[in-house]
A and B are shown apart, each in its own frame.
Chain A
Amino acid sequence: MLYREAGDFKTTYRDDGQTFPIRLDRWGYYVTLAVAFGIIPFVINDYWASAVFVPFLIYAIAALGLNILTGYAGQVSLGTGGFMAVGAYAVYKLMTAFPDISIVIHILLAGGITAMVGVLFGLPSLRIKGFYLAVATLAAQFFLVWLFNKVPWFYNYSASGQITAPERTILGHAVTGPASTASAKYLICLVFVFALAWIARNLTRGTLGRKWMAIRDMDIAAEIIGVNPLTAKLSAFAVSSFFIGIAGALLFAVYLGAAEVGEAFGINKSFLVLFMVIIGGLGSIFGSFAGAAFMVMMPVFLKNVLVGSLGWPTDLAAHIELMIVGALIVMFLIVEPHGLARLWSLTKEKLRLWPFPH
């Protein structure tokens, strides 16, 4: 009754092609933006920022990136952790080499560098498909982590082999380093998420996105109708790696502050982001957000219940968490292989008729 499209007349093609064609969706979007930019920064505290909001926003970027590659272009990648490491180390080298330049530029450049590395490792995708490609991307994952571990130039010859983010400010507010406040960290991530999600949405519904989807659905057929697989696949790798590189840069500089490559960007990170994309929904922008929110919040929730309420030891809780994550993934795939995004659209379908379904 409330959620409906009746009476919402479109008189121009522009109206008809907008991202949120239904009025209630549009309002919901504006309200979400208003809350995210106008209210949360003023009430956020350190716990909520570091446990929920900042990791959610950063992983949302990574999930968007992987969703472009896997969900839209159909190229399965298990190298996300490695590409995030490229972003992190690129931003670290840039921050320490050019301390006077704004960190925003550094983060964008780190994304660009990751895009180039992504294209390099994406080259085999022209010959290798499906599972073979998924395993081939593991080469990127393991090689990159090894590289950042073994070549001291990447971590500026620090004794511990760790990289530590120096303090950088935007408009006088520290966003990295120990002096940064919760709301500053939150806001810089939010700005990047907003901009990148906007870019992702508009890329995927344009020419490039349609080329990606044609390649995903069947690459030979796509080639026959005139989609160049070289540019389509490599552009997917480039755009995806750009997003993932920015996520890696933010994860290191803003969220972690200090990182050791094997621990922070190992194979588990690749799987984590892949789960976000699968659980959220392949080929859906909303799904990337939903999946990231789910995978970030579930461990926090479980930890609060198992350790906080029941008082179980943390290692046991961690193992049970593994079991629950695994079971949930299997369950999701059985119940709804298209993820949370599909569940959401089904709910909206139902809401259209509610409360008079006949």
Chain B
Amino acid sequence: MDQFFFAAEVLANGLMTGVMYALVALGFVLIFKASGVFNYAQGVLALFAALTLVGIQQGQIPFAHLINAAFGTSLHHFGWTVPAVLAIALTAGVMVALAFLIEKLVLQHLVGQEPIILFMATIGLAYFLEGLGDVMWGADIKTLDVGLPQGISDAIEGTTAEWFGYGFFIDRLDIWATLIAALLVAALVAFAQYTKQGRAMRAVADDHQAALSVGISLRFIWVMVWSIAGFVALVAGIMWGTKSGVQFSLSLIALKALPVLMLGGFTSIPGAIVGGLIIGVGEKLFEFFIGPMVGGATENWFAYVLALIFLVFRPQGLFGERIIERV
């Protein structure tokens, strides 16, 4: 019986992790749908957003390290702290500016290139942003606190202990993350369905040329989509950053989001969420049941192998558009 409850707890935690994966995967799907760019930099965007948020919040001087090295000064902080809400708003502004710059400096010059070239460009972008984030704000591990509740939820532990005689350990942050992710998805879906810009975005996703011919500005839509992706990255960055500190490994969750995408299909928002949940639960349960037999740390590869096996049977993923090829 204990084993069963352990497994149920692992399952619940897996669902929460899955939500986090889905958050990152969502950013990928948005950009892929609207511009056909497979944006490897999404994870680094999350890292960059989290770094910027911490930097603004704590009043760090950007490029302090570089300025110190170049001019022999010893700057580090402005000496003020910015309230969390304002800092988040400012960071969102930075992400929009970044989206504009990316469109202007990179994507605009690569229109019509092969998808693989665009993918490479986003890897280059990821490297650049990673370096930029470190140079701007320093590479040390930072703690991020925007006032989200953290720690084990006593209420859930108490209730479950009363009902089943076994207290479930669930982080309050995970619950909040789930709620916020659900809100974000609802907002995105509503945006895409009911606003003018959202409709334009879907039109672009459907057919670039047809969208152009009815007077939709591709460039505007791209900037908008990258801004939204930047905003999603910011949310993901806040969640992951609060959970495990703002550090380089944050950008590696992008790699975890890839199998999520494959499972769900590159073009489907519900797919990203379902895929995230399957991967989150799957890897936690696998680690719980099989992990001890093979030496543990199976989370490193389980998601990829699962996606790989799945794709062999259904190459377009769960909800992806059917791949039709013509000669």
Which residues in A have some Cβ–Cβ distance to B below 8 Å?
A: 76, 124, 127-132, 134-136, 138-139, 141-143, 145-146, 149-151, 218, 220-221, 224, 267, 271, 274-275, 278, 310, 312-313, 315-316, 319-330, 333-334, 337
Contacts and interface: CB of A to CB of B under 8 A. Distances in A.
Nearest to A277: B120
A333 B131 contact: no
B250 interface: no
Interface stretch (B8-16, B76-84, B149-157, B258-266): B258-266
Contacts of A326: 124-131
Interface in B72-94: none
Nearest to A335: B109
Contacts, number: 142
B162 to A, nearest CB: 40
Contacts of A274: 120, 123
25 contacts: A124-B311, A129-B323, A132-B266, A135-B261, A138-B259, A139-B305, A142-B300, A142-B301, A146-B298, A151-B295, A220-B327, A224-B327, A275-B123, A310-B69, A320-B131, A321-B131, A322-B128, A322-B130, A325-B128, A326-B127, A326-B130, A329-B123, A330-B121, A333-B110, A333-B117
Given A139-B301, A278-B120, A323-B131, 12 more contacts: A131-B266, A132-B262, A132-B315, A135-B262, A142-B300, A218-B327, A267-B255, A274-B120, A310-B69, A324-B131, A329-B124, A334-B109
Interface in B35-72: 38, 65-66, 69-70
Given A315-B139, A319-B139, A128 B311 contact: yes
Given A316-B65, A326-B124, A329-B127, A128 B258 contact: no
B116 A316 contact: no
Nearest to A152: B295
Contacts of B161: none
A224 to B, nearest CB: 7
Contacts of A334: 106, 109-110, 121
A329 B130 CA distance: 14
B212 interface: no
A140 to B, nearest CB: 8
Nearest to A311: B69
Contacts of A330: 106, 121, 124-125, 128
B135 A327 contact: no
A76 B258 CA distance: 15
Contacts of A132: 262, 266, 311, 315, 317
Interface residues of B, number: 54
Contacts of A321: 131
B21 interface: no
A109 to B, nearest CB: 26
A136 B124 contact: no
Contact of A146 (B38, B106, B126, B301): B301
Contacts of A329: 120-121, 123-124, 127
Given A142-B304, A150-B295, A333-B117, A319 B135 contact: yes
B171 interface: no
Interface string B93-132: 0000000000000100110011111011101111111111
Contact of B117 (A142, A218, A271, A337): A337
Among B120, B132, B295, B300, residue most surrounded by chain A Cβ atoms (within 10 Å)? B120
Nearest to B295: A150
B277 interface: no
Among A127, A221, A328, A337, residue most surrounded by chain B Cβ atoms (within 10 Å)? A337
A271 B307 contact: no
Contacts of B119: 131, 134
A134 B326 CA distance: 22
B312 A337 contact: no
A136 B262 contact: yes
Given A127-B312, A320-B131, A143 B123 contact: no
Contact of B315 (A76, A128, A316): A128
B304 A143 contact: yes
Nearest to A330: B124
B21 to A, nearest CB: 14
Interface in B210-256: 255
Contacts of B1: none
A325 B125 CA distance: 10
Contacts of A145: 300
B275 to A, nearest CB: 12
A142 B307 CA distance: 13
A181 B146 CA distance: 57
B304 A150 contact: no
Contacts of B69: 310, 312-313, 316
B127 A322 contact: yes
Contacts of B311: 124, 127-128, 132, 136
B28 to A, nearest CB: 11
A131 B38 contact: yes
A41 B275 CA distance: 55
Interface in B272-327: 294-298, 300-301, 304-305, 307-308, 311-312, 315, 317, 323, 325-327
